[in-house]
Amino acid sequence: EAGVTQFPSHSVIEKGQTVTLRCDPISGHDNLYWYRRVMGKEIKFLLHFVKESKQDESGMPNNRFLAERTGGTYSTLKVQPAELEDSGVYFCASSPVRGTLSTGELFFGEGSRLTVL
Amino acid sequence: RKEVEQDPGPFNVPEGATVAFNCTYSNSASQSFFWYRQDCRKEPKLLMSVYSSGNEDGRFTAQLNRASQYISLLIRDSKLSDSATYLCVVNKSGYNKLIFGAGTRLAVHP
């Protein structure tokens, strides 16, 4: 079974440009999450989808970030315009578990490394 | 103050050593607790859940002290393949998201 896949694995852009990251969750996983790790810091929650609906976007840094999950399958995270502080690794994770994460098991992709120059 | 605090390490230990990692969390509403493992430039993967009574999985033992808001992970008979970053993770009651510590790096050498 395919795991969570993310594209691109690495993106280098200039400040002010736009980048779109894509995540394909494990087939059948209704829950999809985006997390981010900025250099030297902990992995931080960005948002959570259940199917195509945003359940919690409390971690989104500002309105330059837009996440979508049309049709409840893959998801995109767009950063527009990118700033230097957006550099980091963006992880996508999925889970079949409904409700609270009592089992704690999220299946993560390998991440998309974003470098903003 | 961070919600989950860990000693960043690195812990450099020889093969066969026993090593312990500690973690504290600040929110008493935290409900579920986990240790994740992350290899260099790879994704985090669930290592084990942590239960109030303590639990063991092979060479790994996890402990939780709710009163002190403290979690630990003990690795016995360290292997070279145990080299990784160990992430302490909590889930708050009623929230559907995980909160990560910054991780403790372990390097096991021959």
* B5-48 per-position pLDDT tens digit: 998 889 999 999 999 999 999 988 888 899 999 999 899 999 99
Nearest Cβ partner of B43 from A44, A56, A108? A108
Q: Given phi > 0 = left and psi -120 to 50 = alpha, else beta, which region is B109?
A: beta
Average pLDDT for B62-91: 95
Whether B96 sits inside 8 A of A41 (CB atoms) is: no
Q: Give the closest of A4, A42, A109 to B100, CB-based.
A: A42
Query: Chain A within 8 Å of B99 (Cβ-Cβ)?
Result: yes
Q: Which of B40, B97, B100 to mutate to test binding with chain A, by most A CBs within 10 Å of its CB? A: B97
Q: Are the CB atoms for B3 and B102 separated by under 8 Å?
A: no
Nearest chain B Cα distance for residue A35, angstroms: 10
Q: What is the pLDDT of residue A1?
A: 66
Q: Which residues of A are less than 8 Å from B87 in CB distance?
A: 43
The confidence score (pLDDT) of residue A2 equals 80
Give yes or no for B74 touching A (CB within 8 A).
no
pLDDT at A99: 59
Which of B42, B95, B101 lies nearest to residue A42, judging by beta carbons?
B101
Distance set, CA A16 to CA A7, A88, A91, B51, B109 (Å): 20, 16, 22, 46, 44
DSSP string, A38-91: -TTS-EEEEEEEETTEEEE-TT--STTEEEE-GGGS-EEEEESS--GGG-EEEE
β-pairing, A112-116 vs A10-13, is parallel
Question: Which burial class, exposed, middle or buried, applies to A97 when counting CB atoms under 10 A from its CB (0-12, 13-18, 19+)?
Answer: middle
Please report how many Cα atoms fall inside a 13 Å half-sphere around the Cα of residue B82, on the Cβ side.
Answer: 26
- Could you tell me what percent of chain B has a pLDDT over 70? 100
- The average confidence (pLDDT) of chain B is 93
Which pLDDT score, from 0 to 100, does residue B27 have?
A: 84
Query: pLDDT tens for residues A24-80?
Result: 999 989 999 999 999 889 999 999 999 999 999 999 999 999 999 988 899 999 999
B32 interfacial to chain A (CB closer than 8 Å): yes
Residue range A87-112, pLDDT digits in tens: 999 999 999 876 556 667 889 999 99
Q: How far is CA A90 from CA A77, A111, B16, B48, B78, in A?
A: 9, 5, 35, 23, 31
**Residue B29 DSSP one-character state:** T
